[in-house]
Amino acid sequence: MKKTVLVSGGAGFIGSHVTVELIQAGYDVVMADNFSNCDRSGYEGVKQITGREDLPLEEVDFCNAAQVHALFAKYPIDAVIHFAAYKAVGESVEKPVMYYKNNLMSFLNVLEAAQEKGGCNVLFSSSATVYGEPDAVPVTEKTPRKPATSPYGNTKQMCEDILRDTVKASGGTVKGILLRYFNPIGAHPSALIGELPRGVPNNLVPYITQTAVGKRPCLNIFGNDYPTPDGTCLRDFIDIVDLAKAHVCAVGRMLEGKMKADCEVFNIGTGRPLSVLELVNAFEKVNGVKLNYKFVPRRAGDVVSIWADPTLANTEMGWKATRSIEETLKSAWEWELHLKNQQQ
Ligand code: WQD
């Protein structure tokens, strides 16, 4: 029988790509979102890519316990992937209460509903931000977490701990996987779904594509005096479709009883460090566009260098990043052009 996966925050950037891959892998998906940080285009795009006109969409506020319980009562949910959270680092520093309330409450409601149903497989969308500024790179899952540098990062650490404790106390009825994403970028090759930042983008790649298309006058590169080969920060940029496929592997691992512990952690990255400047140069080259950029002082709170050792995900989950940075940057640009064409 087909298994059902609930995707909270399913209409967003990562959620929509994950939904596509789950459907294509043969799962029934329930997409749930409150549309606080995205519109319905993600849902429409997923339907168009997969041909699943009947894809269930539930408008749910995950901070509302009654709504979450009703959702779990309505569908035979075998696994839940929890994305529904706020994600802007800077905003979290300005509005910590809003971040703690939203990111913790929504996850607690999911866990409570899962427990009340007698158990569930829970996949939590975590972040490399939990490693802070690591003492050594690349980071493995055994690399110690550092104190979080923002309320956003703290909510990721806290949710990791909450899931671990819940799994431990559940006597095996709740199982958990924490996926720690590095820097997800790019868009679906169909250019029908992608990242839709509201207002001025915080993240590098949307800022690059918006500058290239003329929405922004100039990209500011934060710092060129870091102790790295070209002076700019090093990151592990992971293609969004590769990242989405890691979720299919993780869900399969849970549902097929392949887990080696009741709560597991995997780094989801390429293992390939790339500097901000290298990324900018690659974007210009592969897309044949000239980018207006300038170097400005460092951004507060930025980690100098971080990239993944993805060996565990490669060997244990059978997942590996396969798309080249060129393909990824091409997809990011095609998505931006798709948005431009839509507006004309
Ligand atoms: C990457 C690099 C910037 C914008 C954050 C979160 C993480 C994850 C992804 C949230 C840095 C530089 C950026 C710009 C620049 N979660 N940069 N000019 O900070 O590595 O990770 O986003 O969604 O948890 O911490 O990603 O894309 O913001 O920055 O020079 O306009 O690009 O300084 O070195 P980051 P990023």
Helix (H, G, I), strand (E, B) or coil at 327: helix
* Closest residue CA from atom 28 of ligand 1: 203
- CA 76 to CA 74: how far, in whole Å? 7
**DSSP one-letter code for 316:** I
Residues 6+ apart with CB under 8 A from 210: 201, 216, 336
Q: What is the CA radius of gyration of the chain?
A: 19
| Contact between residue 21 and residue 5 where contact means Cβ atoms under 8 Å apart | no
Nearest-angstrom CA–CA distance, 247 and 184: 13
Q: What is the pLDDT of residue 1?
A: 87
Beta pairing class for 293-296 and 263-268 = unpaired
Please tell me the distance between residue 204's alpha carbon and the centre of ligand 1 in angstroms: 6
Q: H helices within 85-191, ranges in order?
A: 89-94, 96-116, 151-169
Distance 304 CA to ligand 1 centre (A): 11
Judge whether 78 and 5 are in contact, CB under 8 Å. yes
Take residue 142 and report the two structure tokens written for it: 């055994």
Ligand 1 atom nearest to 221, measured from its CA? 30
Helix (H, G, I), strand (E, B) or coil at 202: coil
d(CA 220, CA 344): 27
Name the residue of 276, 291, 292, 295 to mutate for ligand 1: max ligand atoms within 8 A of Cβ.
Answer: 276
pLDDT at 344 over 90: no
Ligand 1 centroid distance, CA of 146 (Å): 18
Nearest atom in ligand 1 to 153's CA: 24
> Which ligand 1 atom is the nearest neighbour of the CA of 205?
27
Q: How far is CA 101 from the centre of its chain?
A: 20
- By the 10 Å C-beta count (0-12 exposed, 13-18 middle, 19+ buried), 97 is classed as exposed
Q: Please report, in angstroms and rounded to a whole number, the separation of the first and last CA atoms in the chain.
A: 45
pLDDT by residue (tens digit) across 105-121?
999 999 999 999 999 99
For residue range 299-342, what is the model confidence (pLDDT) as tens digits?
999 999 999 999 999 999 999 999 999 999 999 999 999 999 99
Cis amide prior to 297 (ω within 30 degrees): no
Q: Give, using CA atoms, the residue closest to atom 13 of ligand 1.
A: 204
Look at residue 79 and tell me whether its pLDDT is greater than 90. yes
User: Hey, whose CA ends up nearest to atom 19 of ligand 1?
Assistant: 302
Q: Write out pLDDT tens, residues 220-262.
A: 999 999 999 999 999 999 999 999 999 999 999 999 999 999 9
DSSP letter assigned to residue 198: S
Give residue 138's Cα distance to chain centre: 19
Spacing, Cα 39 to ligand 1 middle (Å): 23
What is the model's pTM?
0.98
**Cα of 273 to ligand 1 centre, how many Å?**
14
Atom of ligand 1 nearest to the CA of 235: 20
- pLDDT tens, position by position, 266-298: 999 999 999 999 999 999 999 999 999 999 999
Query: What are the φ/ψ torsions at residue 39 (nearest 5 degrees)?
Result: -105, -165
State the residue for tokens 């948005």.
339
Distance of CA 103 to the CA centre of its chain: 14
The three-state DSSP-derived secondary structure of 204-268 is HHHHHHHHHHCCCCCEEEECCCCCCCCCCCEECEEEHHHHHHHHHHHHHHHHCCCCCCCEEEEEE
Give the integer Cα–Cα distance in Å for 183 and 178: 16
* Substitution site in 103, 145, 222, 304 for ligand 1 pocket (most atoms within 8 Å of beta carbon): 222
> Annotated catalytic sites, by residue?
152
What domains are defined for the chain?
4-186+237-268 (3.40.50.720), 204-235+271-343 (3.90.25.10)
Residues having CB closer than 6 A to ligand 1 are: 87, 89, 127, 129, 183, 202-204, 207, 219-222, 233, 235, 276, 299, 302
202 CA → ligand 1 middle, Å: 7
Q: Which residue minimizes the CA distance to atom 1 of ligand 1?
A: 204
Tens of pLDDT, residue by residue over 169-190, are 999 999 999 999 999 999 999 9
Q: How many CB atoms lie within 10 A of CB 21?
A: 22
CB 71 within 8 A of CB 97: no
